[in-house]
Amino acid sequence: MTISIALNKKPQESVASVSGFSPVESLSYLWGSETIQEDRKFDGYTHPSAYSSKEWCARNDFFDVMRFRAGEDSYSTASPAHMKITFEIGNAMHHWIQNKWFTRFPNFFGKWECPNCHLVETGLKPSKCSSCGCKSFSYKEMYLTDSKTLTAGSIDALFKVGDSDGSVILDGVDIKTISKTEFDKLKKPNQAHVIQLLLYINLLRSAGYLVNSFKLLYVCKEQVFTNYTVYKSEDGYTEMGALREFEIMTGDYEHSLAAHLMILESLAKNIEAKVVPSARCAGCASLSSKKARSCQNSGDCFVYEGGEIYGTT
């Protein structure tokens, strides 16, 4: 017999005759609640993952930030339940890679939280908590912001590879969990992922770090390990079993990074001056255009032509 249970109903309300704890029903309730998405609340910054999307629109970010600064809710926090589940499965994979794999290496760099007193220390993993003496730690990603571009992001993993004139030199890793279909086709890094890395490099530089290189680590979600042989492809990637990494040498991308920073700095200036950016997206010729219809800021967007001060029309 199949029993359907509506999302967002508390288990005890939905099936009164069932006693005890049901993991499936509990998850159904949890995904419908706000709590699971608390970390994803809009924070007033453009995020590398959003910027690198083909759908990114400067005006959309502008209106979101204006509303955020006015203390109103942003539209951008809403995401359907199936996306939340996908995000959380990706997060679980990240947690495993960070805390069970990378944490074994002494040059793994980031924030370390003591599970006992919750003190957080930044740098290499401490030998013991400086407050309570506890010897175990949980790895926390470094969350960085850049005021010049109004961008922010959390970096999956960093490794200290040296020092120069008092600045720490880091190698970065960004982890992407992908399907087997995507994994099998992957011969070069996804361009959107490369743009994300470039913005992470800018965030690190703004925080005073030097970046040596960044790697994109693709992890196939559905493939078990069948071998442990490291293979270096002529296409420029290194792989083993369900893992494939691409190295992004920072020097090769400086020109591209500078172009992206110009776009974001221009938007940041508009935001600080409250001046509405002028150009609408190519797909938003009118309110009835397909892209505008799916944009939650289209109401605001079609009030302004651009160049006006927000809130004065």
121 touches Zn ion by CB under 5 A: no
Question: By C-beta, is 132 or 273 nearer to Zn ion?
Answer: 132
Give the chain as a DSSP string: ------TT--HHHH-TT--S--HHHHHHHHHTSSGGGGGGS--SSB-HHHHTSTT--HHHHHHHHHHHHTTPPPGGG---HHHHHHHHHHHHHHHHIIIIIGGGSTTEEEEEE-TTT--EEEEEPPSS-TTT-----EEEPEEEEETTTTEEEEESEEEEEEEETTEEEEEEEEEEEE-HHHHHH-SS--HHHHHHHHHHHHHHHHTT-EEEEEEEEEEETT--------EE-TTSEEEETTEEEEEEEGGGGHHHHHHHHHHHHHHHHHHHHTBPPSPPPTT-SSTTSHHHHT-TTHHHHTT--SSSBTT--
CB contact burial 88-122 (16+ within 10 A = b; e otherwise): eebeeebeebbeeebbeeeebbbbbebeeeeeebe
Q: Under the criterion CB under 6 A, does residue 284 sit at the interface with ligand SF4?
A: yes
Interaction partner, residue 297 (Zn ion, ligand SF4, none; CB < 5-8 Å by kind): ligand SF4
Q: Considering only residues 157, 194, 271, 292, which one is a binding residue for ligand SF4 as defined by CB under 6 A?
A: 292
**Residue of 260, 280, 304, 310 interacting with ligand SF4 (CB under 6 A):** 280
Q: Which stretch binds ligand SF4 (CB under 6 A): 103-111, 221-229, 268-276, 296-304?
A: 296-304
Q: Work out how close the CB of 120 gets to Zn ion at its nearest, in angstroms, rounded to a whole number.
A: 10
Q: Within 13 Å and on the Cβ side, how many CA atoms surround 65?
A: 26
Site residues for ligand SF4, window 121-150 (CB under 6 A)?
none
Binding mask 38-67 for ligand SF4 (x = CB under 6 A): -------------------x-xx-------
Residue 157 or 267 having the CB closest to ligand SF4:
267
Instruction: Verify binding: residue 74, ligand SF4, rule CB under 6 A.
Output: no
Instruction: Write down the least CB distance from residue 8 to Zn ion, Å.
Output: 38
Tell whether residue 267 is a contact of ligand SF4 (CB under 6 A).
Answer: no
Work out which of 220, 267, 295, 304 binds ligand SF4, going by CB under 6 A.
295
Return the number of the residue (52 or 98) whose C-beta is nearest ligand SF4. Answer: 52
Q: Report yes or no: 16 and 28 within 8 Å, Cβ to Cβ.
A: no
Among 12, 122, 131, 136, binds Zn ion (CB under 5 A): 131
**Is 33 among the residues that bind Zn ion (CB under 5 A)?**
no
* Residue 291 touches ligand SF4, criterion: CB under 6 A: yes
Please identify, using beta-carbon distances, which residue of 92 and 285 lies nearer to ligand SF4: 285
Q: What is the nearest approach in angstroms of ligand SF4 to the Cβ of residue 281?
A: 4
Query: Interface with Zn ion by CB under 5 A: which residues?
Result: 114, 116-117, 119, 129, 131-132, 134
Q: Where on the chain is the footprint of ligand SF4 (CB under 6 A)?
A: 57, 59-60, 280-281, 284, 291-292, 295, 297-298, 301
